[in-house]
């Protein structure tokens, strides 16, 4: 059994006077029995976190013991929403360490901005919690590896918020591809084609009184508050997000690589990219226009490609789907839009089998809880997700540097490129309590 930290986070990180903290001893590492209830903490009940909260509040097997947000307005709404769903009011906290210190909580949902995902998830896993963390689970390549190690070290279930992995029509579509329905899938094209908003230009100003901006920044380097950073807009900044490639793109990239490589995900070895801000004149740092090409070396001279296209200024859909995937095989192709359908076309474009369906967040939650009970790996296990999230990180690095990069999949480092290797990790706020160990 792995060792579990016995001193509380608040005590260890000096935020409470000695003796005032609760001591955390994690619950056992056994699988739960089918009738056991889950005591859950929700960290970051903002946009997506509220969706989780509503879904969890409907489950009789779930007791929402705590909600945690650094914005007191959002925290108040979260408490109210749990009560409106007919459940007892949860404890309201603004410091996630208090949730992790609660030994009655065995599961946490993390739906904070991306820069908090890995730091919060590592602390939670090491405290013995099972973790559902939103996508992309990592802010960078190094963090993703640390998460896998922590999950395996502590034998915790870590499900990532790529809920398409639990959609029956997509699982059926992937089985078709794996079964050879379009021959050998050599290339997959993923597109993210939609119309985003201009976030404007904002000046530094004092943060709203309802927001603990220092806690929001957490282990990221301190910057002054400005309204174009939050809420939700942080995803367009290098220090906090992963652009739309890691935001909406990661869902379709995840399904794209699933169909291309099946259940044996791996890293590509070459990445070429071009992109930039061709449309928006605002504070966003990530590109609104981006084309990335990944080449996989499968050994024995066998190669495959994944192509990612992003146009955030498109008031129209592509191939019938706003975002989607096209799998090109040696005897046919499949067009897939995750929220709608997939269809196969054969030789000379002859229409073949199709299947409709939608994505069901509840099914993904259920898969997570089932795996805690059985000890099985969840549908969007942290290791599967790592290879999809890294496509976003690799694509963003190649786009930022504007050159073809050679990547060593085993070492998770670029070959002969110091500048690119600096972007395998990130800068943290010196001495902050949430900076992951080993970065």
Ligand X SMILES: NC(=O)c1ccc[n+]([C@@H]2O[C@H](COP(=O)([O-])OP(=O)(O)OC[C@H]3O[C@@H](n4cnc5c(N)ncnc54)[C@H](O)[C@@H]3O)[C@@H](O)[C@H]2O)c1
Which residue lies nearer to ligand X by CB, 74 or 385? 74
Chain position whose Cβ is nearest to ligand X: 46
Residue 287 phi/psi, 5° resolution?
-70, 145
Q: How far is the CB of 50 from ligand X (least distance, A)?
A: 7
Closest CA to 391 of 256, 286, 241, 287: 256
| Token pair in block for residue 165 | 């992995």
Concatenated DSSP letters for 140-170? SHHHHHHHHHHHHHHT--EEES-GGGG-HHH
> Smallest gap, in angstroms, from Cβ of residue 97 to ligand X?
10
Largest alpha-carbon pair distance within the chain?
74
CB 303 within 8 A of CB 296: yes
Return the DSSP state at 331: S
Q: At what angle do helices 382-401 and 249-261 cross, to 10 degrees?
A: 110
User: Which spans of this chain sit near ligand X (rule: CB under 6 A)?
Assistant: 43-44, 46-49, 68-71, 74, 96, 111-114, 116, 134-135, 161, 163, 215-216, 218, 230-232, 247
In the bound complex, what is the minimum distance in angstroms from residue 314's beta carbon to ligand X? Answer: 19
Least Å from the CB of residue 77 to ligand X: 9
C-beta of residue 10 within 8 angstroms of C-beta of residue 21: yes
For the CB of residue 368, give the shortest distance to ligand X in the complex, in Å. 13
Q: Which is nearer to ligand X, 240 or 387 (CB)?
A: 240
CB of 279 to ligand X, least distance (A): 21
Whose Cβ is closer to ligand X: residue 71's or residue 126's? 71
Of 69 and 106, nearer to ligand X (C-beta) is: 69
Cβ closer to ligand X: 136 or 332? 136
Separation of alpha carbons 433 and 312, rounded Å = 36
In the complex, the smallest distance separating the C-beta of residue 207 from ligand X, rounded to whole angstroms, is 11
CB of 299 to ligand X, least distance (A): 33
Of residues 63 and 112, the one with the C-beta less far from ligand X = 112
Q: How far is CA 408 from the centre of its chain?
A: 23
Name the residue nearer to ligand X (CB basis): 120 or 150: 120
Nearer to ligand X, 191 or 407 (CB): 191
Where are any strands of DSSP class E within 97-141?
107-110, 130-133
Q: Which residues contact 18 (CB under 8 A, 6 or more apart)?
A: 11
In terms of Cα–Cα distance, which of 379, 375, 344, 334 is closest to 359? 379
Tokens of 8: 């509380």
Site of tokens 């996630």: 96
């Amino acid at each position: 059994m792995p060792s579990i930290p016995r001193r509380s986070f608040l005590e260890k990180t000096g935020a409470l006077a000695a003796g005032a903290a609760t001591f955390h001893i994690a619950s056992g590492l056994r699988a739960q029995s089918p009738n056991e209830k889950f005591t859950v903490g929700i960290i970051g009940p903002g946009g997506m976190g509220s969706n989780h909260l509503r879904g969890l509040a409907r489950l009789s097997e779930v007791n929402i013991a705590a909600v945690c947000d650094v914005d007191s307005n959002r925290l108040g709404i979260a408490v109210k929403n749990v009560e409106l769903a007919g459940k007892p009011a949860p404890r309201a906290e603004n410091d996630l360490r208090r949730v992790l210190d609660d030994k009655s909580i065995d599961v946490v949902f993390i739906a904070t901005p991306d820069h908090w995902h890995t730091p919060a998830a590592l602390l939670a896993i090491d405290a013995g919690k099972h973790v559902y963390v939103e996508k992309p689970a990592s802010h960078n390549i190094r963090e993703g590896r640390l998460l896998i190690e922590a999950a395996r070290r502590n034998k915790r279930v870590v499900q990532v918020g790529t809920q398409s992995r639990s959609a029956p029509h997509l699982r059926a579509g992937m089985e078709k591809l794996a079964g050879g329905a379009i021959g050998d899938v050599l290339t997959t094209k993923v597109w993210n084609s939609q119309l985003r908003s201009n976030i404007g230009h904002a000046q530094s100003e004092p943060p709203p009184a309802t927001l603990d901006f220092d806690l929001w920044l957490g282990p990221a380097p301190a910057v002054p508050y400005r309204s174009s950073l939050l809420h939700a807009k942080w995803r367009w900044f290098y220090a906090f997000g992963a652009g739309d490639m890691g935001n909406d793109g990661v869902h379709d990239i995840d399904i794209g690589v699933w169909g291309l490589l099946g259940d044996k995900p791996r890293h590509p070895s070459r990445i070429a990219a071009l992109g930039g801000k061709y449309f928006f004149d605002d504070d966003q740092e990530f590109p609104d226009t981006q084309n990335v090409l990944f080449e996989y070396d499968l050994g024995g001279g066998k190669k495959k490609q994944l192509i990612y296209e992003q146009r955030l200024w498109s008031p129209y859909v592509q191939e019938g789907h706003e975002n989607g995937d096209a799998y090109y095989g040696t005897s046919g192709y499949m067009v897939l839009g995750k929220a709608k359908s997939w269809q196969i076309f054969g030789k000379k474009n002859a229409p073949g089998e199709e299947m409709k369906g939608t994505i069901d967040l509840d099914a993904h939650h259920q898969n997570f809880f089932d795996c805690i009970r059985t000890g099985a790996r969840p549908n969007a296990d942290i290791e599967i997700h790592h290879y999809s999230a890294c496509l976003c990180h690799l694509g963003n690095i190649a786009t930022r540097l504007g050159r073809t990069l050679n990547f060593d999949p085993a070492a998770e480092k670029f070959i002969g490129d110091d500048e690119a290797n600096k972007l395998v990790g990130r800068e943290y706020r010196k001495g902050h309590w949430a900076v992951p160990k080993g970065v």
